[in-house]
Structures are given as C-alpha cells and as structure tokens.
Amino acid sequence: MIGIAVVSHSPRLAQAAVDLALEMVGDGGPAIAIAAGAGEGVTGTDAFKVAEAITEVSSPEGVLVMMDLGSAVMSAEMALEFLADSEVPVKLTSAPFVEGLMAAVVRAAGGASLDDVEREARGALHAKRTHLDDDEQPEPSFDVGPVAEHAMEVTLRNPHGLHARPVSMLVKAISAFEATVTVANIRSGGPPVPANSPTALLGVGARQGDTISIAAAGRQAREALEAVGELVRGGFGEVETTPPPGTASEQSAARPDARPSKEALSSGPLGVSPGLAVGPIVRMPDQLEEPVDAPELSEQERSEAVGRIEAASAFVAGALMDKAGRVSGPAAREILEATALMATDPGLIGDACARVTDKGQTPERAVWAAVGDIAVVFREHGGLLAARVADLHDVRNRIVAELLGRPAPGLPDRTEPYVLVARDLAPADTALIDPAVCRAIVTVEGGPTSHTAILARALGLPAVVAARHALEIRAGSVVIVDGTTGVIVVDPTDEQVVQAEQESSRVTMFDGTGRTKDGQRVQLLANVASPDSVAEAIKAKAEGVGLFRTEFCFLDQEEAPGIEEQVRAYRRVFAAFPGRKVIIRTLDAGADKPLAFVSEVNEVNPALGIRGYRTAWRRPELLDTQLQAIAMAAAAETADVGVMAPMIATVEESIAFAARCFEHGLRSVGVMIETPAAAITAGDILQTVDFASLGTNDLAQYTMAADRLMGELALLNDPWQPAVLRMIREVSRAGIATGKPVGVCGEAAADPLLAAILVGLGVTSLSMSPRALGGVAKLLSSVTAQQCRDAAASVVAASSSSMARAAAVALLAPGQLA
C-alpha cells in the first residue's frame, strides 16, 4: 500500500483532515504522516519536516504528498531535493486538500497504485462540481474496465444515498474480490463509473430512493455483486430517518402506521448449530397425553383388555432388556434392567388389571392410574425411591403407547445414524441424545436461543429450528442438514452427499488464547451443560468455563439433589480446569427448563414467572444447599471459581445474592444481566458484585417481548436487533465505568462477527459452545481492537438487525456475505 504525507500550514487543519479521511476506512487505511507548522505554535511549512514525513511513510509502492497552499508546495519540492537519492517513487499532487485526501485514503486502502491514487485525488472535486453544475472544467474520464458479465439493480435505502461513508464501505468491500465493478445511477441516466473510485462514485450523485445499476466482470464478479447488493439492501448500516421511496416492504418497515408484511416478521428454517450432516429422517414421537376417562368396558371386553395389558408390559420389558444388552456401560445396563423389571412388576400390572376387571377402566387409563398411585408412594418415601419416579413414568408411557399402537415415546431407539425431526424437543430429551448415532436435529418450533439450539451446540450436532415443513418430509428420506445456513436438502444426489461429508470433516481450531489482531486479550471460554460436556470444552482448548448451567445436571430428577451429589457433579467440572476460571450459575429452573423439584407447573406466563433467582424466594433452602455444595466443591479443587445468579432484575436481588454467597465463603460473585431491568440499572448492580455476564438469549427475549421458543418469532429474537445491541452497550459502559468485568455467555458470543462487535462495545470475555471457539477466535485475530470499536459504533447505530449485520460484514469481513 502507498504512504501519504500531508503538508499543511496548520497542524490542527492537517490533523482534522486526516481524521476525517481515516473515518472512511477505519484501521485498514494507508500510513499517513503529517508535516505541519513551522515550529512550536508557528503557522507555516518546513521542508525538513516534509522530508521526514515522506521518509516515515515511505513504501516500495511510493508516497503521495498532499499539500494545502502557497509555501506548502515549495517546501514539498525542496524536500524532494533532500531525498534525491531515495529510490522510493514520490508524487506531489495538485489535488484539493480535503476532498483529495479523502479520495486518496480510500483508494489507497483498496490497494491502488500511486498513479491511480494520485489521479483519483486530482479528480476529487468532480462530485462537488457535478452537484453545483459547474461545467467549466472538463469531466474526468473513467476507465470502466472490461464488459460486465453480471449485473443487478438495487434501490438505495440509506438517508443520504451514496455519500462519503457508504462510498468508502463500497470501495472497501469490492477490493476483497477479483472483479471489476461499475455503478450507474439509473435516475440521472449518467454513465457507469468504476466502483473502486470514491471520486467517481460520489459524482454519480445517487440519493435515497435512486435505483443504481451495479455490473461486474472478472473471476469473482458474482461474489462482488452479492457483497455490494447486501450493503445497499442493508442501507450501509445507517439509521433511516425518513421512509425510503422504495418497495412496499421497505416502506412498511419505516412508517409507524404501516403493517409490516408477513414476510418481514416470520422466520424460515434457521441454522442454529453449525455443521453439515447426512442421514435418514427419524421422527420423534409426539408426547403422550393422559388418557381420558372412557365409558366402562363390558364384561367380555374386560378379559381381553387384561390380556392386552399383560402383553404390552411383556413387550416393553423385552424391549428394555434388549436395549440393556446393547449399551456399553455397566451403570446404564443396570438401570435399564431395573426399568425392565418395573414394566412387569406384579404389583403394578396386577393393580392395573384389577382396575380393568373391577371398574371396567380402559387398559391405558388403568395403567396410567396404577402408576400414578405408586408414584405418590415413591415420592412420599423420598431418597432413592423418589428418584425412580422418572423411570416409573417412562415405563408407564411405553406401556400406554404400546396399548395405543403408537411408537414408543422419547428418543428413537436406534443403532444406525439418523437425523432427528421433531415438533419440539424437551431439554431432558435433547440432553439424552447420543451424538454417535444422531447426526443432526431439525425442529418445527424453537428459536436460535431455545434450549434445543443450545444443547445441540453443546453436543456438537448440526441443528435447524423453525423448519415449519419438516414434519411433511417422508420418514426415512435421506437429507443433508446444514446447521449454518438452515438449508435442508431432501433426497440429495450422491455427489451432494460426498461433498457434504467432506465439508463436515473440516474444523477451525482454536490455539487456547483469544486475542485481536493487535494483541488485545479477550478470554474465550466454554459454556458447559453438565459434567459430561466438559470433555468437548477441553478438546476445543477453552480458556475456562464462562457458564456452567447447573440445572442441566438434574433435568430428569424428581427430587432435589443432595449436597453430596451436587459436590460430585461440580467437582468434575472444576477439576477439568485446574487454576482456570470456572463460572458456575445457580439453578436456572422454570419456563423452558422446568425442574420437577423446583418449578410450578401451572403458571400462566412461565417465562415471566418464578424462574431463575426468583425460585429462591419460595425455596430458599435450595439455593443455600447449592451454594454450600459449590463452596465445598470449589474448596476441594484449584479452579478459580466464580458463582452467579440467573434472572436478576433488581439491585436488592444482587445485594441479597452476594450476601448469601459470602455467608457460604464464596468470594467471587456475579450476576447475569438478562432482563432489561438489570441492563438499565447495570451500573448500580455492578457496584454490588464482582462481575456480570450478559445472558443475551433472555435479554433478547425480554427486550423484544418475543418467546425464545417460538420459531415464528426468531427474527425478533435476534441479538443483532438494535434494541438488544443498545442494551448490551449500556451494560458494557457500566462495566467500564465501574471497572468490573462484563462477559457475554449468551449465544451472541458464538457468532464470530457479533463477537467482534461485543469486544468493540467493551465486553471482556466471551463464553460459547466449545465448537464455536475456533470460528470466533479466527475472526477476532483478523481485526484490531480499534476496528472492533469503530464497527461497534456503526452497528449499534443501525436501525434494523439486517442493517446492523450488513454494517458489521462491510467493516470487519468484507469478503463475507451478510
């Protein structure tokens, strides 16, 4: 890249002009040195200073010297005489100082040659002249390159059309491609101009609502067009203040009285856990409802019904024994064998048969009721017996399904690879998925932050949610599932299958130290769902654990886990990260993660009910037991343990939580910021604790008032939504103001582009599913901290999630499609 020397009578003028020009390119601009003033506080120019500036930015590609007026030119000429021996090509230009400098900086940033940059700078008054109809000067002629092979037309949505900033974004975006691109304004009928020339683009005079024609030639013509199209469609990430005279959907987005189109609100299939997988579809059976009371069976029907109960229980026991023979671990085998015995338990089956014989109940109703009575006894007994209630219900569901001629409920019992398709998955089902046979998950419901998505990422399984037509795909059909793009290919060709399998074996590795290109450290941590998922975090070289979701350890338990059981589970995670940071979260039960021993089942709005920290209002002993167990586990290991509470909404709650942690000897205490209330008062909350962690999944759900489990609302439930980004900015600012670390442990941290924006906003650590670490680390290491800050400022100012993302792509990864 060429260097630029700026010669001016006034240091302030020179610095301001340089700052303005650099705003157009962020960190990616050329080296610039200023030679301004004739000594301390003296206006003028000095040839020695000019020579020094040229030397400072000299590069084999050359140096362009921009000058303001009068003696600046003489000093520059004299400086060239001092440097007569230098082999570096240097050019003095008659270009206008401010416009020329901007054009030169943008063009140089795109890697143009010294001659091209100088020509660009010299023509920099073109736009102003065109605008003011000053036709005394001849029009510069632009070389538009080879004949275009691809073209498209797009309407400008941003308020001021192709002004300086969008122009520099556009020039920068196309510089990443091997393509020659031109732009023409269809309204004015002007000729096409080269899109690598900021001066020419500004001269196009394209305003909001104008349709421009973009054409491209060259090897990457199509990709370049896509990138420019995305920028234009995304409004260059600028806030729209007036409705653009564009398409109907564009208008409805801006006018308060307009009804948004259905298309703008509903989401299609969404890739929520990256990766590609191939396999035949197996459907998750629908959940069983409690059988309704039916009219009494006749005497003849009763004996036949009894026989059916006996046959169904024998069938279920046989199936479970069969499965026990196939599992590898002795513990799993013992559990399955014991469950099989339950299915033929004479007490249970005898009671069910008696209900048929004596009361004329249907067989399914009789089995349901008989199990219900035994479950009450087990629960009252407590301890180990109570812990078997879940198995009892499993047996009941299997027998009833068999009686009704339906497939066994729960996860398909398969040994061959398959793709699981379900309307929705309960966390308990998802947690039991065996990634060795289940290759991918597709659900009709669910958003990007639903627990299906989170657990799929934890298991390393590609997943697509909000796939509304998934249940219409014939069971057994082979599909390719792309968990990144959300695309599902039904009945693929052999070639597509081979390609997908090859791609799925490629992974980006993380070296264990997160940092930006210029070395700013950003801790990259793992989200861990249970002790079993720790191995994946270690394999991915996570620097520690930023979120240990303890509720996932106890999903299928009917009774609260005792201290010893908890200590055992927590120690397994702490022990895996000796001397490293591990942030453990207290139980976040309720709403989409009900725990039988905590949650109320009959709340009208569970997501707004007693969940997260609020469960401690009703069951304080559960929190105390857990804190005691965490303290004991932490004392037994060397991990640097921090403990945090979910769903905090007030300062009083954070004070109370910190006090209880202290009572248990826990010294590093934090809270999750996942309600708008906590985000707005983050400054006060942070005064009361040591750190905060942004739970962007819930923060998005509550900020946007959009249920995170509903596939249809996934577009609202998006951390790129400006409202969510601005909430995050407030919390980061509070962290900077109080000097307390603020991390992100919601799924936003796993999106590489968004991760860079979060760093730009000031967050200090990012915690994500282990598989996401490589991608995030890679993008962070390609951008400087300043670039992240600049991009964050633009992205947060955007007026829609798509504009925010388009701005991030243009500023941080111009080669990538938004």
Among 197, 273, 697, 800, contact with ligand PEP (rule: CB under 6 A): 697
Does residue 547 bind ligand PEP (CB under 6 A)? yes
CB 590 to Mg ion: min, Å = 10
How far apart (Å, rounded) are the C-alpha atoms in residues 358 and 624?
49
- Cα distances (angstroms) measured from residue 94 to each of 19, 69, 123, 360: 21, 10, 10, 103
How far apart (Å, rounded) are the C-alpha atoms in residues 573 and 577?
7
Among 302, 549, 571, 729, contact with ligand PEP (rule: CB under 6 A): 549
CB 699 to ligand PEP: min, Å = 7
Q: Mark 559-588 with x for binding to ligand PEP (rule: CB under 6 A) and - for no binding.
A: -----------------------------x
Q: Mark 694-733 with x for binding to Mg ion (rule: CB under 5 A) and - for no binding.
A: -x--x-----------------------------------
List of residues 6+ apart from 729 with CB closer than 8 A: 761, 792, 796
Interface with Mg ion (CB under 5 A), residue total 3
- Cα distances (angstroms) measured from residue 589 to each of 108, 428, 554, 609: 56, 13, 10, 11
CB 693 to ligand PEP: min, Å = 8
Q: How far is CA 338 from the centre of its chain?
A: 43
Tokens standing for residue 179:
């393509």
- Cα distances (angstroms) measured from residue 344 to each of 315, 318, 347, 349, 678: 9, 10, 9, 6, 53
Does residue 696 bind ligand PEP (CB under 6 A)? yes
Q: Which of 145, 148, 100, 106 is nearest to 123 (CA)?
A: 100
61 versus 588: smaller Cβ distance to ligand PEP: 588
How far apart (Å, rounded) are the C-alpha atoms in residues 391 and 398?
11
CB 395 within 8 A of CB 312: no
Q: Of 353, 661, 745, 788, which residue is the catalytic one?
A: 745
Interface with ligand PEP (CB under 6 A), residue total 11
53 versus 525: smaller Cβ distance to ligand PEP: 525
Q: Of 451, 553, 661, 788, which residue is the catalytic one?
A: 451
Does residue 674 bind ligand PEP (CB under 6 A)? yes
Please return the burial class of 699, using the count of CB atoms within 10 Å of its CB with bins 0-12, 13-18 and 19+. Answer: buried
List of residues 6+ apart from 293 with CB closer than 8 A: 365
480 versus 648: smaller Cβ distance to ligand PEP: 648
Mark whether 353 is an active-site residue.
Answer: no
CB 751 to ligand PEP: min, Å = 13
CB 650 to ligand PEP: min, Å = 18
Tokens standing for residue 624:
């105390």
CB 701 to ligand PEP: min, Å = 8
CA angle 63, 68, 74 (to 5 degrees): 75
586 versus 787: smaller Cβ distance to ligand PEP: 586
CB 132 within 8 A of CB 205: no
547 versus 616: smaller Cβ distance to ligand PEP: 547
6 versus 644: smaller Cβ distance to Mg ion: 644
543 versus 674: smaller Cβ distance to ligand PEP: 674
Out of Mg ion, ligand PEP, none, what residue 615 binds, judged by CB under 5 to 8 A for its kind, is none
CB 676 to ligand PEP: min, Å = 13
Q: How far is CA 569 from the centre of its chain?
A: 28
CB 798 to ligand PEP: min, Å = 21
Strands of 63-67's sheet, edge to edge?
32-36, 3-8, 63-67, 90-92
CB 683 to Mg ion: min, Å = 21
483 versus 746: smaller Cβ distance to ligand PEP: 746
How far apart (Å, rounded) are the C-alpha atoms in residues 490 and 498?
15
Token pair 């001021």 is found at 160
Helix 221-233 vs helix 164-175: crossing angle, to nearest 10 = 150
164 versus 547: smaller Cβ distance to ligand PEP: 547
Q: Mark 760-779 with x for binding to ligand PEP (rule: CB under 6 A) and - for no binding.
A: --------------------
Give the three-class secondary structure for 441: strand
Report the site for ligand PEP in 426-465 (rule: CB under 6 A): 454
Among 46, 482, 637, 698, contact with ligand PEP (rule: CB under 6 A): 698
* Stretch touching ligand PEP by CB under 6 A, among 177-185, 518-526, 693-701, 801-809: 693-701
Tokens standing for residue 490:
């039904």
Q: How far is CA 457 from the centre of its chain?
A: 12
Out of ligand PEP, Mg ion, none, what residue 696 binds, judged by CB under 5 to 8 A for its kind, is ligand PEP
Mark whether 131 is an active-site residue.
Answer: no
- Virtual CA dihedral for 706, 710, 715, 717, nearest 10 degrees? 40
Give the three-class secondary structure for 251: helix
Q: Which of 267, 252, 285, 769 is nearest to 548 (CA)?
A: 769
Does residue 718 bind ligand PEP (CB under 6 A)? no
Q: Mark 662-701 with x for binding to Mg ion (rule: CB under 5 A) and - for no binding.
A: ------------x--------------------x--x---
The residue ranges that bind ligand PEP (CB under 6 A) are: 454, 547, 549, 588, 674, 695-698, 745-746
The residue ranges that bind Mg ion (CB under 5 A) are: 674, 695, 698
The residues annotated as belonging to the active site are 451, 745
